[in-house]
């Protein structure tokens, strides 16, 4: 074992990752850790860096596809209570990366604070939502972020201000960092109005995506200024099905899986759809999924 004895009880070897992802496919992580405190996380990261072991954080796995060969490195989960706290002071909401996005959205609505209510229904942790910049047509999480706290590979913490952060539609420059906390600047509004907005966003979102518990991934996002559904329809790929993988007809852009399916088959399926769409329409679709 490359980790010192004081943290060995936090590390598991050859941990299957499929159960940590929405797709429920893929191999194992060589090392897996669930630290309970920030010093433990810092020590795990710095020892991994010193040993040349690459490390990543897994959130709810709603945007990850793990290859069948697994991940030859360290995967960290921030599920511990220490990383999942949500607090509100005046109009600023601060949350740990391990909190669920829905918990953060509900806390803001409960405090009568607006700005992220339209993200209701998007699966994931707050950390995953920051790194992937959880977005819908009318807004994104990134536009509310005032600062992000991350742990560097050497174990030291760093605060990134809004001038150092870049957010685009479902992307950010936080990829590759280890985010533990962030703060959002929100606005006070009438709480009845806010609850109404949050509920209607949730209803719209739930109707537009596979039900939670279904094995699914959002494989393609709306191209600039165009309807994704129209682009997929014009390309003849809407509802495309190969073995146990389908490009949902009901939920445009989502892949759904059943039975035995390999991560590599999913990757090839996404590539085939991308090529077909580009050949038919000239549009290169963006796939937001992180492939490990
Ligand atoms: C049914 C369904 C509907 C979806 N709808 C939307 C939608 O409307 N809009 C949208 O934007 N997305 C959507 N997504 C994608 C997904 O919900 C978001 O990307 C979500 O923010 C991912 O969060 P997660 O915790 O699951 O991240 P994961 O999938 O676990 O991780 C995603 C990436 O973030 C990194 N990461 C996670 N936590 C941290 C951390 N603390 N520090 C550093 N890196 C970290 C991981 O290493 C990985 O690279 C949808 C997905 C599904 C399955």
Instruction: Kindly state if the Cβ of 248 falls inside 6 Å of ligand 1.
Output: no
Interval between CA 135 and ligand 1 midpoint (Å): 10
Q: Tell me: the pLDDT tens digits for 226-250? A: 899 999 999 999 999 998 999 998 9
CATH topology identical between 5-81 and 84-207? no
CATH class of 5-81: alpha beta
Ligand 1 lined by 274 (C-beta under 6 Å) = no
Q: Which residue, judged by its Cα, is nearest atom 35 of ligand 1?
A: 128
pLDDT exceeds cutoff 90 at 208: no
Radius of gyration of the chain, Cα coordinates, nearest whole angstrom: 19
Cβ 134 under 6 angstroms from ligand 1? yes
Reported as a single tens digit per residue, the pLDDT across 235-290 is 999 999 998 999 998 999 999 998 889 999 999 999 999 999 999 999 999 999 99
Cα 7 off chain centre by: 27
Long-range contacts of 283-286 (CB under 8 A, 24+ apart): 283/223, 283/226, 283/231, 285/220, 285/221, 285/223, 285/228, 285/231, 286/170, 286/220, 286/221, 286/223
Instruction: Show me where the domains of the chain are located.
Output: 5-81, 84-207, 216-291
**Fold designation for 216-291:** 3.90.78
Q: What number of CA atoms fall less than 13 Å from residue 153's CA on the CB side?
A: 12
State which ligand 1 atom lies nearest to the alpha carbon of 205: 8
Average pLDDT, the chain: 94
Q: Is the pLDDT of residue 67 over 80?
A: yes
- Angle, to 10 degrees, between the axis of helix 101-110 and the axis of helix 191-207? 150
* Whole-number Cα distances in Å, 209 to 170, 181, 205, 273: 16, 28, 6, 19
Architecture of the 84-207 domain:
2-Layer Sandwich (3.30)
């Amino acid at each position: 074992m490359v980790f010192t004895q004081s943290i060995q009880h936090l590390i598991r070897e050859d941990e299957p990752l499929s159960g940590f992802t929405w797709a429920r496919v893929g191999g194992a992580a060589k090392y897996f850790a669930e630290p309970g405190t920030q010093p433990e996380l810092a020590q795990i990261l710095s020892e991994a860096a010193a040993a040349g072991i690459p490390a990543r954080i897994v959130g709810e796995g709603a945007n990850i596809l793990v290859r069948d060969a697994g991940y030859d490195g360290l995967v960290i989960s921030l599920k511990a209570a220490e990383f999942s706290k949500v607090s509100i002071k005046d109009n600023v909401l601060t949350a740990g990366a391990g909190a669920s996005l829905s918990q953060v959205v509900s806390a803001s609505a409960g405090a009568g604070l607006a700005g992220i209510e339209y993200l209701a229904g998007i699966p994931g942790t707050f950390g995953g939502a920051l790194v992937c910049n959880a977005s819908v047509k009318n807004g994104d999480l990134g536009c509310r972020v005032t600062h992000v706290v991350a742990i560097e590979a050497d174990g030291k913490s760093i605060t990134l201000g809004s001038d150092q952060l870049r957010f685009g539609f479902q992307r950010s420059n936080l990829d590759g960092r280890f985010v533990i906390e962030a703060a959002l600047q929100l606005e006070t509004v009438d709480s009845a109005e806010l609850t109404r907005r949050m509920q209607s966003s949730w209803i719209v979102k739930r109707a537009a995506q596979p039900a939670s518990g279904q094995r699914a991934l959002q494989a393609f996002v709306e191209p600039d200024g165009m309807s994704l559904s129209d682009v997929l329809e014009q390309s003849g790929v809407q509802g495309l099905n190969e073995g146990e993988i389908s490009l949902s007809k009901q939920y445009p852009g989502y892949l759904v899986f059943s039975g035995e399916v390999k991560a590599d088959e999913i990757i090839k399926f996404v590539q085939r759809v991308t090529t077909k769409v580009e050949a038919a329409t000239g549009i290169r679709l963006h796939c937001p999924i992180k492939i490990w």
